[in-house]
Chains A and B, each alone.
Chain A
Amino acid sequence: MGSQFKFIHCADLHLGSRFKGVSSSDPELGRAMRESTWVSLGRIVDLAVSERVSAVVISGDVYDDENALPSTRMRFTRELARIPAPVFIARGNHDSATSWDSAVPYPSNVHEFGPEPCRYAVGSGPGSFDVVGVSFSVPHEGRNLASMLSGDPDRFTVACVHCDVDSVSEGYPYAPCRMSDLRGRGVDYWALGHIHRRQVVSESPYAVYPGNIQGRSVRETGEKGAYLVTVTDGRVSELRFVPTQGMVWRDLEVDITGRDMQSLAADVSSSVLPGDICRLRFTGSGDLDAVLRTETGDAVAALSSASGCTVASVVLGCSPSVELPPAGGPDILSRAVGCGEDLRDSDVGAILDAVCANGMAARHRVLLSSLGEEGIRGMVDDAVRLLAVHLGAGR
């Protein structure tokens, strides 16, 4: 070692995936959202070209298995062909094998790891390094893939793997491993994938989740992109995040209490940048509730125009002017507020049980669960407010 080279680390491309939780039926908006992942990928490829990187490492979930099509792979292949360097890909839980894989082969600069570890040498001379990696063999991979990889202590080694370190993800642990599994294996940089939130898990050795390249739901807000890693004299000298997202997804809560449209627009404008895409959750209570409910389209258009961002979805969690009394008061609303607080503080399962006492709602219990704890408890707050409105608390 004794020279400098660069490589790009990205993961969770989810090409072809759709945004979750967006109910807009505007076809142009749908197309723009779908294209945003491709825009991000294109920028990553441009970065690889402009920075003259020695390699590009993609740590899994290139596709979105529910939305994968041959055209998706074809387009990805064309982008890969633009990269004037070797590309290393590890399959993740969303990269199921398809019947068209062999019909649309990757270009010769691409090396896709198989279900067993493999090592590639990149370059020659002082600036050379190794890339090791392994792919998922099945969608629900249970093996500790990280423990199968190791590096030569005398060579800078990048390990490319899609896995769950210390089960940081909320759901099923895919290819679980411990941080201790990543140490002492001769690997200098663990190029990880699976977690969509960008984070540097460790710096000794480096273990990095770059996050996905484009936010796709209300829980994936902010900038998304890839890491440009510079290695000097065999050590990581710079780890720079480069935002490449096609659109920044923002989830804005807008309180209408005591506000008018002008102040709302100013509020939204100050929270977004032109070109962003957002979901507006209107909360609070006030006279704007009626306007938002009866003239939703016009109100949203006005806010979009004022802020320059695209409003992809609106959640009307607001209500007419309602004054909620404290619990324990003599009136029925106070008792209802108390019941609401009790319900809100109870187990999420109990809340869902209350909802699913309704047979039609019970059919969608799983869907309701996807709202998450915060969303489910938020429903209780909205329910109290809704009851208050109908009990005439605003009169």
Chain B
Amino acid sequence: MRITRIDVGAFGAMRSRTFHTDHGLVLFHGPNESGKTTVMEFVRNTLVPTSKRDVYPVRGRGDHGSVTVVDAEGEHVIVLEGRRRGGDVPDAVSGLDPVLYRSVFALNQRDLEDDGPFARGELRSRSLTVPGGDAVPGAMEALTAIVDAELGRTASSRSRLAEALRDLDSVESRIAELRPIAESYGEVSARRDEVRGEIESAESELRSAAESRRMGELAESNAGNYSRLEELEGELSSMGVFRRVHQGDIDLHAGLREAVGAARAALDAVESERDRCRRTMGGVDERAVRSSAPAMTSLLDRYPAYMAGASGADVRGGTPVMVLAGLLLAAAGAVGSTATPYALVASAAGVVLAVVGLVRRRRAGRRRPGRDGAYEGEVASVMASLGLQPTSVPADIRRMGDLLSAQRALSASEPSWMRCRSGVVAAEEDMRRFYQPYGGERGYAASIELTERAIRIESEIGSIRGALSRSGLDPDADPRTVMSGDVDDGRLRELVAELGRLEERMSAMMDTGELDSLLDRRSALRGEVLETVRRGSTAVLALHIADRACGEEFGGTRSSVLSAADRYLSMMTGGEHRIDMDPLGEEVSVVSGGRVRGPREWSTGLRAQVMLSVKLALAREMGGGEVPVILDDVLLPFDRVRMEGACRALVEASREMQLLVFTCDDRVVGMLGGMDGVGTVEL
């Protein structure tokens, strides 16, 4: 497509101007303020209108004009009315994005300084020529904006993700503060159990202390009792060790005394009888009687005969003796029966003997005694042996009979007397043995007294102890120790307070409303983070897909763009610098003297040459040679040598696409003006 005519009706300050531009390269030249920019903007806005408002010149509703173009289909007149484009708009420009158009097909000096396509690897996305390719830069820019908004570029960038992570971090921090509090429930519970135990102990101690105090007060009020008790116990102690007399002992003692008494009474009875017998013997030595007893018995036996001899024998057979002996025996048996029951047998025998004697006496009658000198001599001898003065035979015989009876009674009573005496000895021995532990009868009496005293003391002690015990006091305690100090419940109060605080804490731990809300919030934030990451990642994937698509597409076009750029650069530099044709290269590089140099190694002049070469190549590729390219003083940065080379390249490029070059630089006018295919328009 080629612009053949420009008709400016009204645009900016320009009115009713017409320019013929049917050349491959049209050079618009004129001094500053001659209208170059106005014409340039008129062409741009007519071919590809922009919605920007802050443009030069200031737009007005009265703006109008037309641009006539010729392409393979013929002539088209594109009309500008105000801000709107109308008329017959050819396909080459009808769908062009204004931003893309201005960056690719309407270059100025600043565009040569825009190394974005090289620095950000956007060369591919900006060079697509397929349908829709022009939208790629804008789409990638929008997607990048989404990625930045969602994910951010760095960790410190503002983004939804950063905000969500910040909120999440804040929530996590608060959870980290609260959670240990709730989780320490076990610890607090254990401490509570400890404190409960300590309270129990303290209460127990307190109760003990209170009780001690009470007991102390009680003890104080019973001081008298304690004192009396001590006194009594001292008295008891001072009594020393003695043998106590128990009731059993007393009873035994009484029994023994009774036994002794009875034994003595029996002995006395026997001795009394024996004394009577001795009195009967009239002081005659018992031994003499005993030793003379046979003689006397013989005399007595012969006395009847003696009497018979005298008047006949008077045999009495000892009848008075029999009676007497029987009576004595009976008496002795009666007395001895208290010691032994066998004495009763003797007593019975005595009675029988006495009765027999009486019967015989009665039967014998009284007879006169005869004279027997020998007999009488015996009598007198016996009497003398007895220490008695003989009197008469009858009297002496009676005396002898009495003595014999008495002696026999004595003899008969001797066993009984022996037994009674033994009984007395035994009884007294028993008594002695009884007294022995007491140290004798006096000791016993003393013991009784001590015992009675001890019993009285102990009774009183028992009463006092009982009274103290009933009061709850320990009778054995030292009343001075029973008294205790003040009851201090300070420790208990502290523990109770601590228990209260612990239970409050435990209750608060169970009230996890804030923590639950935070956990809810955390869960929601995690979901939000996931969603944000997903959205951002989706945009990243979209960029990736776009980049892949661009890469695949540009892979086909890359070589033609770079080939053209290489041709232009070579032309500009006289072959000194060439575009690196390595298809694997991600950025544009320049081969200079065999060495590949990346954008960071280019000089300012070389950068401008490369930029111009590539942009011309891009414009050619993207426009397909159909879209005229406007160049606004793009050669200003070049020195003369570079300028000449650039002019050559522009003329070369103009063979493939129309170039409209606007300049105020006379050097450019001088270089281009004389070249084939260049038309000039002076403003």
Question: Which chain B residues lie closer than 8 Å to A331 at the CB level?
Answer: 130-133
Contact of B545 among A25, A70, A340 (CB under 8 A): A340
Answer yes or no: A355 CB below 8 A from chain B CBs: yes
Answer yes or no: A315 CB below 8 A from chain B CBs: yes
Chain B nearest Cβ from A388, distance in angstroms: 9
Question: Which chain B residues lie closer than 8 Å to A74 at the CB level?
Answer: 510
Structural contact, B185 and A391, CB atoms closer than 8 A: no
A93-101, A125-133, A148-156, A172-180: which one contacts chain B? A93-101
Query: Which residues of A, 64-109, contact B by the 8 Å Cβ criterion?
Result: 67, 69-71, 74, 98-104
Question: Which chain B residues lie closer than 8 Å to A120 at the CB level?
Answer: none
Structural contact, A332 and B549, CB atoms closer than 8 A: yes
Contact of B131 among A24, A313, A332, A380 (CB under 8 A): A332
Structural contact, B550 and A100, CB atoms closer than 8 A: no
Question: Which chain B residues lie closer than 8 Å to A387 at the CB level?
Answer: 139, 143, 542, 545-546
> How distant is the Cα of A58 from the Cα of B526 in the complex, in angstroms?
30
Answer yes or no: A383 CB below 8 A from chain B CBs: yes
> How distant is the Cα of A70 from the Cα of B525 in the complex, in angstroms?
24
Interface centre among A343, A354, A380, A386 (most CB of B within 10 A): A386
A26-34, A159-167, A227-235: which one contacts chain B? A26-34
Question: Which chain B residues lie closer than 8 Å to A50 at the CB level?
Answer: none
Question: Which chain B residues lie closer than 8 Å to A168 at the CB level?
Answer: none
Structural contact, A20 and B517, CB atoms closer than 8 A: no
Report B521-551 CB contacts with A as 1/0, cut-off 8 Å. Answer: 1111111111101101111111011101110
Query: Which residues of B, 110-132, contact A by the 8 Å Cβ criterion?
Result: 128, 130-132
Chain A nearest Cβ from B234, distance in angstroms: 61
Knowing A313-B527, A390-B143 touch, does A332 contact B132 (C-beta < 8 A)?
Answer: yes
Knowing A71-B182, A387-B542 touch, does A25 contact B524 (C-beta < 8 A)?
Answer: yes
> How distant is the Cα of A368 from the Cα of B531 in the complex, in angstroms?
10
Question: Which chain A residues lie closer than 8 Å to B142 at the CB level?
Answer: 390
Answer yes or no: B161 CB below 8 A from chain A CBs: yes
Answer yes or no: B227 CB below 8 A from chain A CBs: no
Structural contact, B183 and A70, CB atoms closer than 8 A: yes
A111-119, A138-146, A298-306, A359-367: which one contacts chain B? A359-367
Question: Which chain B residues lie closer than 8 Å to A69 at the CB level?
Answer: 179, 182-183, 512, 515
Who on chain B is nearest to A358 by CB? B540
Query: Which residues of B, 153-187, contact A by the 8 Å Cβ criterion?
Result: 153-155, 159, 161, 179, 182-187
> How distant is the Cα of A392 from the Cα of B132 in the complex, in angstroms?
8
Structural contact, B541 and A380, CB atoms closer than 8 A: yes
Chain A nearest Cβ from B529, distance in angstroms: 7
Question: Which chain B residues lie closer than 8 Å to A253 at the CB level?
Answer: none
Structural contact, A100 and B540, CB atoms closer than 8 A: no
Answer yes or no: A18 CB below 8 A from chain B CBs: yes
Question: Which chain B residues lie closer than 8 Å to A384 at the CB level?
Answer: 542, 545
Structural contact, B135 and A392, CB atoms closer than 8 A: yes
Question: Which chain B residues lie closer than 8 Å to A104 at the CB level?
Answer: 185, 189
Classify chain B: how many residues form its interface, as a range. Answer: 35 or more
Contact of B548 among A22, A339, A379 (CB under 8 A): A339
Answer yes or no: B136 CB below 8 A from chain A CBs: yes
Question: Which chain A residues lie closer than 8 Å to B131 at the CB level?
Answer: 330-332
Classify chain A: how many residues form its interface, as a range. Answer: 35 or more
Knowing A21-B530, A368-B534 touch, does A391 contact B517 (C-beta < 8 A)?
Answer: no
Who on chain B is nearest to A343 by CB? B545
> How distant is the Cα of A145 from the Cα of B338 in the complex, in angstroms?
105
Answer yes or no: A23 CB below 8 A from chain B CBs: yes
Knowing A99-B187, A391-B135 touch, does A360 contact B161 (C-beta < 8 A)?
Answer: yes
Question: Which chain B residues lie closer than 8 Å to A392 at the CB level?
Answer: 132, 135, 139
Answer yes or no: A336 CB below 8 A from chain B CBs: yes
> How distant is the Cα of A21 from the Cα of B512 in the complex, in angstroms?
23
Report B603-646 CB contacts with A as 1/0, cut-off 8 Å. Answer: 00000000000000000000000000000000000000000000
Answer yes or no: B325 CB below 8 A from chain A CBs: no
Who on chain B is nearest to A339 by CB? B548
Question: Which chain A residues lie closer than 8 Å to B152 at the CB level?
Answer: 360
Structural contact, A98 and B538, CB atoms closer than 8 A: no
Structural contact, A30 and B527, CB atoms closer than 8 A: no
Answer yes or no: B211 CB below 8 A from chain A CBs: no
Structural contact, B537 and A34, CB atoms closer than 8 A: no
Question: Which chain A residues lie closer than 8 Å to B540 at the CB level?
Answer: 354-355, 357-358, 361, 383
Who on chain A is nearest to B551 by CB? A339
From DSSP, what is the main secondary structure of chain B's interface residues? helix
Question: Which chain A residues lie closer than 8 Å to B483 at the CB level?
Answer: none
Query: Which residues of A, 334-391, contact B by the 8 Å Cβ criterion?
Result: 335-336, 338-340, 343, 351, 354-355, 357-358, 360-361, 364, 367-368, 370-371, 375, 379-380, 382-384, 386-387, 390-391
Chain A nearest Cβ from B393, distance in angstroms: 127
Answer yes or no: B601 CB below 8 A from chain A CBs: no
Question: Which chain B residues lie closer than 8 Å to A360 at the CB level?
Answer: 147, 151-155, 159, 161, 536
Knowing A354-B544, A383-B541 touch, does A23 contact B549 (C-beta < 8 A)?
Answer: no
Contact of B512 among A31, A71, A355, A358 (CB under 8 A): A71
> How distant is the Cα of A340 from the Cα of B546 in the complex, in angstroms?
9
Answer yes or no: B323 CB below 8 A from chain A CBs: no
Contact of B553 among A25, A27, A335, A380 (CB under 8 A): A335
Contact of A371 among B135, B516, B534 (CB under 8 A): B534
Interface centre among B155, B530, B545 (most CB of A within 10 A): B545
Structural contact, A103 and B182, CB atoms closer than 8 A: no
Report B186-201 CB contacts with A as 1/0, cut-off 8 Å. Answer: 1111100000000000
Structural contact, A30 and B549, CB atoms closer than 8 A: no
> How distant is the Cα of A74 from the Cα of B182 in the complex, in angstroms?
12
Structural contact, A368 and B128, CB atoms closer than 8 A: no
Contact of B527 among A20, A27, A358, A391 (CB under 8 A): A20
Chain A nearest Cβ from B172, distance in angstroms: 11
> How distant is the Cα of A364 from the Cα of B531 in the complex, in angstroms?
12
Structural contact, B519 and A70, CB atoms closer than 8 A: no
Who on chain A is nearest to B147 by CB? A358
Question: Which chain B residues lie closer than 8 Å to A386 at the CB level?
Answer: 143, 146, 538-539, 542
Who on chain B is nearest to A360 by CB? B151
Chain B nearest Cβ from A363, distance in angstroms: 8
Who on chain A is nearest to B531 by CB? A23
Question: Which chain B residues lie closer than 8 Å to A393 at the CB level?
Answer: 132
> How distant is the Cα of A229 from the Cα of B133 in the complex, in angstroms?
66
Structural contact, B533 and A368, CB atoms closer than 8 A: yes
Question: Which chain B residues lie closer than 8 Å to A313 at the CB level?
Answer: 527
Structural contact, A100 and B520, CB atoms closer than 8 A: no
Structural contact, B541 and A354, CB atoms closer than 8 A: yes
Structural contact, A30 and B517, CB atoms closer than 8 A: yes
Question: Which chain A residues lie closer than 8 Å to B537 at the CB level?
Answer: 355, 358, 361, 368, 379
Knowing A18-B519, A355-B540 touch, does A367 contact B530 (C-beta < 8 A)?
Answer: yes
Chain B nearest Cβ from A159, distance in angstroms: 31
Report B418-456 CB contacts with A as 1/0, cut-off 8 Å. Answer: 000000000000000000000000000000000000000
Structural contact, B533 and A23, CB atoms closer than 8 A: no
Answer yes or no: A45 CB below 8 A from chain B CBs: no
Who on chain A is nearest to B521 by CB? A25
Structural contact, B544 and A333, CB atoms closer than 8 A: no
Q: Which 5 A-B pairs have the closest CB atoms?
A: A30-B520, A103-B189, A18-B523, A383-B541, A23-B527
| Given A34-B519, A390-B135, A390-B138, 14 new contacts (CB under 8 A) | A30-B517, A101-B186, A331-B130, A332-B136, A339-B552, A355-B541, A360-B151, A360-B152, A360-B155, A379-B537, A380-B545, A383-B541, A390-B542, A392-B132
Task: Give me the interface of A with B, judged by CB distance under 8 Å.
Answer: 16, 18-25, 27, 30-31, 33-34, 67, 69-71, 74, 98-104, 313, 315, 330-333, 335-336, 338-340, 343, 351, 354-355, 357-358, 360-361, 364, 367-368, 370-371, 375, 379-380, 382-384, 386-387, 390-393
Query: Can you pick out 12 interface pairs between chain A and chain B where the beta carbons lie within 8 Å of each other?
Result: A31-B516, A70-B186, A102-B190, A332-B553, A336-B546, A339-B545, A355-B541, A361-B537, A380-B545, A382-B541, A390-B142, A392-B132
